[in-house]
Amino acid sequence: MRTRRWLLLLVGALGVSIACPQVSGQDSSELEHFAAQTSEKVAKERLKRVLLEMQGGCLLDTQLCQTLELNLRVVLTKAIPDIEFVDRENVVQELKKKGYLSIDAYDETLVRGLASETGAEIIVIQNLLWQAHGYELTSKIVKVSGNKEIGAFKVKIVRSAQGDDDKPILVKDEESGVTLIVTRGNPNHSRPLYFPACMKCPDPEYPEIARRKRLQGVIAFAVTITVQGTAEQISLIRSFDASLIPNAIQTIRGWRFQPAIGPDGKPFAARVPLEVTYRLSP
């Protein structure tokens, strides 16, 4: 029951709910070894304020990632007696202060960028990748000072239940009503109706000053595509040049989409990553 309690803490912070299958005994043993490897690397840094963070892939099998987190907590507490675990809710609150949604906490770039404001000194980022006959469970260790990745581990886990491989998981943010789409299986084989589709998305108008400076690159955002097919709640993820951010936002506001369609045939507001690319002609 303790594992279930930690699961509720996770989804409670993000305002979502997910069902979770059981972890087999073999997988549990592999997770313990995996946690020991990850914890050993963390302990070597001699930093005590640790943030354990899950990415969107963990929604494919929340029990798997939660079991790993429980093992990490146990091993790290033994290795670092004065350890302090940073509450994941702190990340969510910092995001919301800056105008992001709770479900944006599943974005690694945003979490790494805000970690210092939560007081964390080191982050362990867990993720789950769908593969043909199972999962690849990964852990990434990031030192907050300098936002530097200092270690990474992975292990293959057998998937006990196949489920509907072509149907993504839809995670609704209860506060905003916006849904995060988590691809299950090969994204190229997933039914396209679940995902927003760009109907009219022209290239950005290149500002003359940026053209003279020969600025080129990509600006990434987390964006809500509404049921009307417009872009709202445009939140910056990363940029190569701050001066182009307003232009990029204006560009996205002018785009038009076919909204995401749920299993019931009705459109729904979806949270998706979008990029605006600035590229000079040869």
Instruction: Render pLDDT for 183-229 as a digit per residue (tens, 0 to 9).
Output: 876 555 555 567 899 999 999 999 999 999 999 999 999 999 999 99
pLDDT in the model for residue 163: 54
pLDDT in the model for residue 5: 34
Instruction: Render pLDDT for 93-140 as a digit per residue (tens, 0 to 9).
Output: 999 999 999 999 999 999 999 999 999 999 999 999 988 778 999 999
| Reported pTM | 0.83
Cβ pair 140, 124 in contact under 8 A: yes
Question: Percent of the chain at pLDDT above 90?
Answer: 73
- Of the pLDDT bands very low, low, confident and very high (cuts 50, 70, 90), residue 161 is low
Least confident of 128-132, 161-165, 247-251: 161-165
Q: Mean pLDDT, to the nearest integer, of 28-33?
A: 86
pLDDT in the model for residue 132: 79
pLDDT in the model for residue 179: 96
Residue reference for tokens 């003279």: 212
Instruction: Render pLDDT for 138-157 as a digit per residue (tens, 0 to 9).
Output: 999 999 999 999 999 999 99
| Residue 190 to residue 165: CA distance in whole angstroms | 8
Structural domains for the chain: 2-158 (3.40.50.10610), 191-278 (3.30.2420.10)
pLDDT in the model for residue 20: 43
- Of the pLDDT bands very low, low, confident and very high (cuts 50, 70, 90), residue 16 is very low
Cβ pair 219, 275 in contact under 8 A: yes
- Within 10 angstroms of residue 82's Cβ, the number of other Cβ atoms is 6
Torsion of CA 171, 270, 248, 275, to 10 degrees: 60
Instruction: Render pLDDT for 66-88 as a digit per residue (tens, 0 to 9).
Output: 999 999 999 999 999 999 999 99
| Residue 166 to residue 139: CA distance in whole angstroms | 26
pLDDT in the model for residue 186: 58
Mean residue pLDDT across the chain? 87
pLDDT in the model for residue 7: 35
Q: Mean pLDDT, to the nearest integer, of 266-276?
A: 96
22 has pLDDT over 70 = no
Q: Mean pLDDT, to the nearest integer, of 264-282?
A: 93
Please list, in sequence order, all residues whose beta carbon lies within 8 angstroms of the beta carbon of residue 94, skipping any fewer than 6 positions away: 114, 117, 118
Choose between 130 and 249: higher pLDDT.
249
| Residue 157 to residue 35: CA distance in whole angstroms | 14
